[in-house]
Amino acid sequence: FAMEQALVQAIELNQFVLHYQPRVNTISGEMISMEALIRWIHPERGLISPIEFIPIAESTGLILALGDMVMEKACSQISDWKNQQLPLVPVSINVSARQFHAGDLQKKLNVCLKKYEIDATLLEVEITESAMMGEDNAIIAELAAIRSLGIKLLVDDFGTGYSSLSQLQRLEMDVLKIDRVFTSELGKSREGEIFFKAIVSMAHALNMGVVAEGVETLEQLGILRTLCCDEIQGYFISRPVTPETMSELMLQR
C-alpha cells in the first residue's frame, strides 16, 4: 500500500526516465533497434529498477498510467533525436497484458505517433510470452490492430512460457526475444545451444527473427554467430544507457 501511494505520487511528479539498450546484428554489430527500459528516479533512494515497481503497478492498475507515460516519453525522445538529425533506429517499448486488455492501446499508439510526427516503423512493441498464452481474444485483436499500423511485434522472455511457435506465427509476431536464462547456458552446457538451434531453425522457417537477450560474453556471441541467431542484446554490447549516451552511440553508427 505504501508503495502504491508512492507510485501514484511519483507519476504525478514525473519521477521516471527511460534508459535505452541497443539491439544489434549478430554478425555486423550494427544497431538494429533499442529497447526503452523505465527507471524511477527516487528523491531519496536514487535509481529504482522496474523489477521493484512494475509488479505493483500491474497489480494495482497503475501500469496503465505508467504505460501511457512510457509511450509518450519514447515518442518524444524519437522526435528529439529526429530533430537533432541523428540516424534513427526503432525503439521498442514493453507493454503489459493489462494495457492490451484496456482495449485502446492501438488508438493510443497511433495518437502518440501522430502527435510527434513519427513513422510507425520507428516504434516496436514487446509483449512477454506469458502474457500471450491462452489465446486471449482481447490480446489477439489488439496485436493485429497494432501490427496493421506498421508497428513490429516482439515476443519478450521467449522460452519461459509454453506458447507454440505456430501460434506465435498465426499472431504474426515478427521477432522472438529468447530469455537470457538460455543465453547464460551457452558455453556451459549443450542444452542452451540445442535450444537456440531448434528455435532459430523453426523461427526462420516461420518468417520470424530471433534475438538473444542477456549476451554478456564474447564466447556467447561466438556461439550465437554459429547458430545463425539474427540479433543480440546484452551487457556485452552495452548496458541500458541514458538518452544522452544513446545519442553518442547513434552517432558512432
Question: Which spans of this chain sit near ligand G (rule: CB under 6 A)?
Answer: 21, 37-38, 49-51, 54, 70, 94, 96, 156-157, 180, 213-216, 234-235, 240
Q: Does 157 bind Na ion (CB under 5 A)?
A: yes
Q: Does 124 bind Na ion (CB under 5 A)?
A: no
Q: Is 89 left (phi over 0), alpha (psi -120 to 50) or beta?
A: beta
| Residues whose CB is less than 8 angstroms from the CB of residue 192 and which lie 6 or more positions away in sequence, other chains included | 182, 183, 184, 185, 186
Binding map of Na ion across residues 208-227, x = CB under 5 A, - = no contact: -----x--------------
**Distance in Å, CB of 184 to Na ion, minimum:** 13
**Distance in Å, CB of 77 to ligand G, minimum:** 13
**Distance in Å, CB of 85 to ligand G, minimum:** 27
Q: 51 contacts which partner out of ligand G, Mn ion, Na ion, none, CB within 5 to 8 A by kind?
A: ligand G
CA 2 to chain CA centroid, Å, is 29
Q: Does 156 bind Na ion (CB under 5 A)?
A: yes
Q: Rounded to the nearest 5 degrees, what angle is found at the Cα of 25, between the Cα atoms of 127 and 201? A: 70
- The DSSP bridge partners found for residue 23 are 33, 233
**Distance in Å, CB of 37 to Na ion, minimum:** 10
Q: For residue 207, give the C-alpha cell.
A: 518468417
Measured between alpha carbons, how far apart are the two ends of the chain, in Å?
46
Binding map of Mn ion across residues 88-127, x = CB under 5 A, - = no contact: ------x-------------------------------x-
CA torsion through residues 236, 237, 240, 242, sign: positive
Q: Rounded to the nearest 5 degrees, what angle is found at the Cα of 28, between the Cα atoms of 27 and 32? A: 105
Residues touching Mn ion, count (CB under 5 A): 3
The amino acid present at 194, given as its one-letter code, is I
**Distance in Å, CB of 107 to ligand G, minimum:** 19
Query: Which residues make up the interface to Mn ion (CB under 5 A)?
Result: 94, 126, 156
